[in-house]
Structure 1
Amino acid sequence: MNGTTRGSDLYDRVSGCLERLNLSWTKLLNLTNDGSPNLAGKNAGLLRRLQDRVREDDPNSDLIFLHCVIHQE
């Protein structure tokens, strides 16, 4: 990605990809991340935005968030 990588920027890319591939948001079950603030931000991070979007289609659905312990050097 070029430019900024805020939670909103990442969300726009992910949602655009899901829409382009015609994938349902309810198929999204879990996400693995490295815990960076733009991903895990409490209110504006990518994970929160994705959780909110999945709950729009199915209020009883919860994403499972996994933290990756292997980081790139």
Structure 2
Amino acid sequence: MHASDLRATYDALARNPKYGPAFVDICLLSAALGATVQPAVRVDRRASWLLAPYLLWVGYAAALNLALWLTN
């Protein structure tokens, strides 16, 4: 990522503050989900795989939220 890309992203985020807290919330959710998957792998590998669709869904939601934030 170049400095101009970072500046454009920062400018877009600064113009649309209502999407910021939602994106931060989704990022925290995905971090918590990742922290949940790690111990689940040690307990039962199959159980950890059951969290994979949820992790994909949260990633998709984060991408949509970021796209909305940057385009609006």
Please classify the TM superposition score into its range, dividing by the shorter chain length.
0.3 to 0.5
RCO greater where, 1 or 2, for CA within 8 Å and sep 6 or more?
A: 2
Larger Rg: 2
Query: What is the TM-score normalised by the length of structure 1?
Result: 0.32
Greater share of helix residues, 1 or 2? 2
Structure with higher strand content: 1
